[in-house]
Amino acid sequence: MDSPTGEPHIFVVFGATGDLMQRKMLPVLYHLAAQGQLPKETVILGVARHPLDDAAFRKQAAASLLEEKAGAEADVQSFCQRTLYYQPLDNQSGTGYQTLQGRIEQVEKEHGLPGNRIFYLALPLEAFGPTLEGLGKAGLNRSSGWTRVVIEKPFGRDLASAVALNALAHRYFEEKQIYRIDHYLGKETVQNLLVFRFANVFFESLWNRDRIDHVEITVAESLGVEGRAGYYESSGALRDMVQNHVTQLLTLVAMEPPATKDEDAIRSEKVKVLHSAVRIAPGDVVRGQYGPGKLNDLPLPGYRQEPGIPSDSDTETYIALRLKIANWRWQNVPFFLRTGKRLPAKSSRVVVTFKAPPVSFFQTEQEYEVNPDRITILLQPQEGFELAFEIKIPGREMRVQTHRMKFHYADVFGELPDGYETLLVDVMAGDASLFVRDDEIEESWRLYAPILEHPPAVVFYPAGSDGPVEAHRLIEEWGHRWEPG
């Protein structure tokens, strides 16, 4: 059994009756408690507008945990009775946060807690500002112990709103108290990028413009909007995936070695990548939207036929772009980024393609293709690495084929912890290395501002296909093609 993470505290979740809490966070918190990673004194206080009491909330939470098959019924019931509390938040009366403060202090006194507090905002974007302001005005931004606030994505809708939200957060909280969460950074493979690059001289010595031809980052989803029409129609693929998940992968792949493994040293190098990114031109972007199609011979509706979507929607469900990073390491190396819905399969990966040999003596009268070496960093549906290189086929003739050497985490370590589990443990321990700093948020929005301000017209692709043909032209113009997978 692992030792407890951090000090005893009260873990306050805003949006406690919502989908994120019920489907994701509750199982993670339960699992951490079952592993012994939560100090026994730690309690979880759910906060939402629904007029529930402790007993009703515990019953609801137990039903969710059992539905998710998080544990045995007796253990689930024990966890809920011992750990969970609930406080309805009345925003209309003007005293809701003062009432919440009193309940927190009461629970802390009952459990002998030292005043350490985590506030987790499992809320929609429009609720972040009022919640931060409510906490600050009620004095809940300070306590006798430490106070940390965790904010879900999306952090803003554009540069102006992100700057405004940062300013509001800093009015009441110091930057070291703020944890902007991106669950992609909790994945073992994403974290291992730092080890992969900086603990292996072989790879790091090749990680530059002299050896690398181009880099692809793909986050593909086979699902459509799945009942999230309201959110997705106001978001689109750029805001939903590129500005956060895809950009995090970009910065980790492209960053320079930090001087130390201190959280700010790592995060500062990520920000430098975004500072060095060249302004994205209109011709470097393809916005797509899925139309009617098929997947596994099953008919699929187009985005505009989904419930709740306007028939003339211009929201992109797919986006591909190419960018360059103007620094010593990456000058003239193109980075190709893409993400989309209703693609053939769920897959997240980074493909680093090395330059081909300058001269090949394997090309004979019977020509055959000699492929460049590639490193593929796999994130979904499995996590690991693959190295593709050329080998000779046994026999008298000199024939070459590509061989893949594979490492998959599950084969060696079994089931990996959920990304949220890793990140929540870090919040409890006060380690912000895997969380996004204020300047990084603003720089990422600044990078994509030209697309948001002047979006290219959407082009269409059939649901179940691998995206619009224009996205293939985007990379083919540079003499490359998307790596299949």
Q: Which pair of structure tokens corresponds to residue 251?
A: 């910065």
Q: How far apart are CA 306 and CA 314, in angstroms?
A: 14
Contact residues for 421 (Cβ-Cβ < 8 A; gap 6+):
28, 31, 32, 186
Q: How far apart are CA 375 and CA 203, in angstroms?
A: 10
**Amino acid identity, residue 427?**
V
Do residues 338 and 468 lie in contact, with contact meaning Cβ atoms separated by under 8 Å? Answer: no
Q: Which of 87, 85, 59 minimizes the C-alpha distance to 73?
A: 59
Do residues 147 and 117 lie in contact, with contact meaning Cβ atoms separated by under 8 Å? Answer: yes
**Amino acid identity, residue 101?**
Q
Q: Where are the beta strands (DSSP E) in 209-284?
A: 212-220
**Amino acid identity, residue 297?**
D
Q: How many CB atoms lie within 10 A of CB 177?
A: 18
At which residue do the structure tokens 């086979």 appear? 222
Helix axes 54-67, 73-83, angle to 10 degrees: 150
Do residues 87 and 103 lie in contact, with contact meaning Cβ atoms separated by under 8 Å? Answer: yes
Q: How far is CA 232 from each of CA 21, 167, 189, 240, rounded to the nearest angstrom?
A: 20, 26, 27, 8
Q: How far apart are CA 483 and CA 217, in angstroms?
A: 10
Q: How many CB atoms lie within 10 A of CB 159?
A: 19
Do residues 183 and 419 lie in contact, with contact meaning Cβ atoms separated by under 8 Å? Answer: yes
**Amino acid identity, residue 392?**
K
Point out the residues that are catalytic.
245
